[in-house]
Chains A and B, each alone.
Chain A
Amino acid sequence: MAAVGLIDSISELSGMGVEKTGTSIMAVTFNGGVVVGADSRTTSGTYIASRVSDKLEPIHSRIFCLRSGVSSHTQTLAKYVRNYLSQYAVNENSEYPEVGVAARLFQVMNYSNKDFLRASIIVAGWDPVQGSQVYEIPLGGSMVQVPFAISGSGSGYIYGYCDANWRPNMSENEAVEFVKNALSLAMSRDGSSGGISRYAVIRPDGVTRNYVSQSDLPYRG
């Protein structure tokens, strides 16, 4: 972590921070797939570098990752994993590689480079072997499979809401509503999160992407 701290302090002195995704991201399994959602704000210190960024990163046809931390770190990790996973899929003749493999690749790289990275990732997707899965890989490089995950600076404000409102075996519509509400609440309280909320529904037969415009957000604080 030393190197990251140094970069941060140097950029603080110059007035601009390292480009970070202070962010609200979440992924939720439901009966028959996964919903992933994120806000769209990327900050450089207090400057909003992008108010329409896309934090839903496809890794494979049915696997997404959600990124929070230092943008360049998370983007590069995602690129490596996408590369390794596509080679793996070709080698093993597997049209839909297992989500756990993608998660493992993130974890191995996050852990071995923990001194140099600040990246917290949620991996979510569907595969024919284990169905819908969500894994979180926080800063230190540990990995745990969970039925739903929230992360990023905005997640702190919605733990209560999520714990109270999540149920197992939700339908797709229930899961999407859950994600929309939770993200909207996070964005309304977290200064580093905002813009629009983007979400994607990953099902065995395909992925549909959508967004909620600022005027349509349920909670605007």
Chain B
Amino acid sequence: MSAAAPVVELKQITKRFPGIVANDSISLTLNKGEILALLGENGAGKSTLMNIVFGLYQPDEGSIEINGKPVIIDSPNKAIELGIGMVHQHFKLVEPFTVTENIVLGMEPKKGVKIDYKSAAEQVRKLSEQYGLQVNPNARIHDISVGMQQRVEIMKTLYRGADILIFDEPTAVLTPQEITELMAIMKRLVAEGKSIILITHKLKEIMEISDRVTIIRRGKVIDTVQTAGTNPNELAEKMVGRGVTFKVDKQAPQVRETVLKLNNVNSKSKEGVNLLNGLSFEVKAGEILGIAGVDGNGQSELIQAITGLRKIDSGSITVSGHEIANLPPRKISELNVSHIPEDRHKHGLVLDFSVSENMVLETYYKKPYTKNGFLQREVIDRYAEKMVAAFDVRTPSIENKARSLSGGNQQKAIIAREIDKDPVLLIAAQPTRGLDVGAIEFVQKQLIAQRDQGKAVLLISFELDEIMNVSDRIAVIYEGQIVGEVYPQDTNDQELGLMMAGSLKRGGNAGA
């Protein structure tokens, strides 16, 4: 192979869906042994493009060349045959199976009619060693961490002989430490002669690891630049199409009375495991309390306890002095508690309802939306029109299903609904997860605006940057307990990271 022929070359790829052009004459090249970052907002067309490369979609126009030869990739099997592997954002693993079983699934080495697990495990171990992945071939998927699961996904592609790896938002679910490790693995892969396309909208990662960046906006390639010759601001501007501020502008908080107070809250799982373990903290009006922590340390259970979806075994939770522990969700919601849920598809929206119907998901039963038991369509529609305009929710019409909106616009719709309730307490769980820079900026500004209006804001996030930038005070959660409270101005990523891992405790002002 000549050094000049790129491993992947896309030429003028165009893909249309009814109503939109997802990819408009996109061309890009991936050279051997490099990491190419594909940067773009949600809905810019990154995923469509990669699905074309992986054989899930067919382009309407344009062509693909692999190692200089034109190919037609009409199925993922063809893609795998051509040495393309994809590490999906949402893992596609069989939980009760072992690492080895997952990796060989569909391509099991046979011994007679039996599957030869022994040699399979051996192969997996070798691969793991070669790329420094440190995966135990015999562990079961549900016993290993998210970071390890991702490595299993990587090994699945390597086992199938992939030379070209596509990573789709690989760091969205990882802790800071795991992200560092992933970066090292990617560098190792490239050093071993693999080529990587990294889909992301996290500029920090791009700057750290990629060789070149191709920026896509609204289905078109805006530019391709050498990472060494650019900076995050320039990239963000190209991606969004306007200047973006990273530092969140905010005044010092005007902290007032306590709104939310948790005192020694305990909650066990069905199996008797302590999920919330003597949890105490408070949030005051006019401040944003950020809860930092690694996924799975009781954040979800904490939110469920405050919103009435989980019974607590002991302790008290009060909102403006009212005891709310174990009240039904609607009672709590009627005390002016708003909630931007962690999983917007599962909990935040009814995806098959129209945007308009989703806007009144919590208030539909009240006047003026319901009169004598009948929904007042016109009132609801007028309200939805108003909200869509005020929060810049981009949708062809309020009659469109919530499913058809992009992630950022779905989140805007939820935020519109929750903020318009004029809450005393706003709970925001992972409010910017999976959003692009522009949408993140919008969401964070809204949170700060709420706090400036004297609302108490509880922010739960796995993104340390977000916790550091947005919060006025940070509480770290570890194994269902608050292990420390700090102010963002006198801590740093390392210290928080250690606290999140449970190896450092720091006294709090309101904590236990």
Judge: A and B partners, yes or no: no
Chain B residues proximal to chain A, CB less than 8 Å: none
